[in-house]
Amino acid sequence: MEEKIKKLRIVRRLADGLRKKTRNPNSSGGKAKRFWILDSGFWILTLLILIAPISCATTQEFQQIQRDVQDQKNRIAITQRELTELKESLQGIHKGQAELDTKTDRIRMEIQNVQGKIDEIKFHAEKASTDTMAMREELMAKVKEQEEKITTLRKDLDTLKSSIPPPPPPQIISQPQPGTTPPYSLEEDTVEELYNAAYSKLKSGDPEEARTAFKKFLETYPHHELSDNAQFWIGESYYREKKYEEAILEFEEVVKKYPKENKVPDALLKEALALYELKKEKEATFILKKLIDKFPKSDQAKIAKSKLEQI
């Protein structure tokens, strides 16, 4: 670079000298004039020789600079393109992150809902278990009470048998006329045996025979302590045959004839269930509420409350 500057300074001095000679040429004689022309040509030629490499060098450097500038432009364009792609990638990442956050929040809410349902089911299961235990204990107490009553009755029956005088000698009994049915006799049957025989038929799946046996029991013992039970099982026999209208009438008989006996709550509950089977929901609701009002602490009242929630 310093060498180029020196050459430029020499060229400038030569040019200045040429200008001076051009302005003050020697006008004496043609020989001197020719010498001046030759001398001027010499200096012009020298000046051109010195300027030529400088001009060539300057053009080459300029072209190199242009190439360098173009390379820098290309690099800048590539960098800008990479920055644009990076921005687009970042935007895609941010969008994906937002979608992931949304899905995460939705899954978290679903987990909370499921957990709430599980807690609710667990609560109802524990409550049902507690209620079942209470009902079982109460039923066991009632069974024990009934067993004690049966034991007492058997003792009374044995005492009564021992106090009965021996039977009279056999009498001649006239034979029944052909075509007639001999009257039903309970001489060899006790109250419990007759009742248990009828109940066994109901348990064995023969509601019609059981119903006939319970009706015979009521005909013989209309005011016995087991009479309300017999009346209830007559209604139950119809219920098991899905003869709901007949069952309702028989359950009503329990309430009318034995209003203070222990089978009244059962009769009211079964009557309501029979009405429900007949699609008479209003009548069924009325009977269930009646059961709850009259026997609020009974097991049947608990069942009635549960049934009212379903209707």
> pLDDT for 181-190, tens place per residue?
444 444 445 8
CA distances from 251 to 74, 120, 134, 230, 290 (A): 102, 38, 26, 11, 14
Fold of 189-311: 1.25.40
Q: pTM of the entire structure?
A: 0.41
15-53 pLDDT, tens per residue?
566 555 555 545 445 544 444 444 555 556 565 665 555
CA-CA distance, 269 to 299, in Å (whole number)? 10
| Structure confidence at residue 196 (pLDDT) | 94
Burial 258-282, CB ≥16 within 10 A → b, else e? beebbbbbbbbbbbbbbbbeeebee
* Residue ranges per structural domain of the chain: 2-87, 189-311
CA distances from 310 to 25, 88, 292, 293 (A): 135, 59, 16, 19
199-235 pLDDT, tens per residue?
999 999 999 999 999 999 999 999 999 999 999 999 9
Amino acid (one-letter) located at 84: T
279-291 pLDDT, tens per residue?
999 999 999 999 9
CA-CA distance, 26 to 74, in Å (whole number)? 61
